[in-house]
Amino acid sequence: MKTIYMDNNATTRVAPEVVEAILPFLKENYFNPSSMYGPARDASDAIENARRRIAARLGAEADEILFTSCATESNNAAIRGALKAEPSRRHVITTAVEHPAVLEVVADLERRGFPVTFLPVNRKGEMDVRDFVRALREDTLLVTVMHANNESGVIFPVEDLARIVKETDPSILFHTDATQSTGKLPIDWKGNFRHVDLLSFSGHKLHAPKGVGALVVRRGSRWRPFLIGGHQERSRRAGTENVAFIAGLATALDLALENREEEVARLEAMRDRLERELTARIPWLEVNGQGAARLPNTLNLAVHYIEGEGILYQLDAHGICASSGSACTSGSLEPSHVLRAMKVPFTAVHGSVRFSLSRYNTGEEIDRVIEVFPEIVRNLRKLSPYWDSAKDRPREDAKERLEGTSRS
């Protein structure tokens, strides 16, 4: 059975070109880039070459690129490094729908006494900018708002939010987790992102391997290193650099941005066709984030009156890989914090499925999901005590049964 992989917001297949870029540093050029002898200089040069290429792609300066192990480390470094640099300020602003790599860090700060504002979102997953403006305070140290949500795909207007921050108080730092958007949306460090101070992303969301990421730190930003204990990365991130994967990250970003507009249009057309066909064929189905600006590759569905876990098992039986939300919270029986923040109805919040596409998905694979998915939903609903199969709609007492108050 051919595997159809549509969980690219969790991770992506490593591109063959990236593998080729990595291999020399796993074979003959294995040297520590910090060593003084001649062969090690090739490894050191490879890191600096990757740094320059990534900086050029993002419109940044090479010394603003800091290599890390992943976006989670980048997010921790951004937030905790900002706190270390300016201890006189303590207020942090974020949203209720951040990835756990930000949300749990900020929640930990709150438990330690830092005042934190968690901004809500509406049913579409959008933030009210008026709430954002009202949240800014004299003691605000840091704003951390993701560029695009990993579950819903909803895009936040970080360019505008960062501008508002700087117009309000230039000393407030603005950080964005751009893990899902890098390579998909326009990011120009001197252009539309000129008011952003810190930006995180990882390699494995754009066809590089797991285990490499980056933090972009604007020159002059008040920020201190998070990992200490070595001189690497100009003493801003201790630890021997992952030369092979850093070289792979630069190649992956090159590939993503060389044909970005054409690829985005192709992904969006496939995503929209999948959405259109499934919503036409399945009753009581919602598109989470519908009506909001969304990533071109992401479709998050909420299916009423069945469990997302059951859907995923059935998709897997057909060789289709999808997810119910963030891979970093998989295994939890709790509904997604993102969907709860979006106030997805309780009859559907457990029935979410996310399809996320990449450059390797094809129209034939979309056809297969359109063929299989409605039948899976139909079969699972036959087993649901809340569904009237004869009328193909919820039982009249379905909500009461779910709430445990049915008298029948």
Residues annotated as catalytic are 328
Residues 92 and 114 sit within 8 Å (Cβ to Cβ): yes
Residues 191 and 60 sit within 8 Å (Cβ to Cβ): no
Q: How far from 127 is each of 131, 292, 360, CA to CA, in Å?
A: 8, 10, 32
Whose structure tokens read 């995923």? 312
Q: What type of residue is 320? A: I
Question: What single-letter DSSP state applies at residue 64?
Answer: G
Length of the chain: 408
Residues 254 and 53 sit within 8 Å (Cβ to Cβ): yes
Q: Supply the Cα-derived Rg of the chain in whole angstroms.
A: 23
Residue 169: CB atoms within 10 A of its CB come to 12
Which helix (H) or strand (E) covers residue 83, if one does? helix 71-85
Question: What single-letter DSSP state applies at residue 6?
Answer: -
Whose structure tokens read 């999901």? 369
In terms of C-beta density within 10 A (0-12 exposed, 13-18 middle, 19 or more buried), how is residue 255 classed?
A: buried
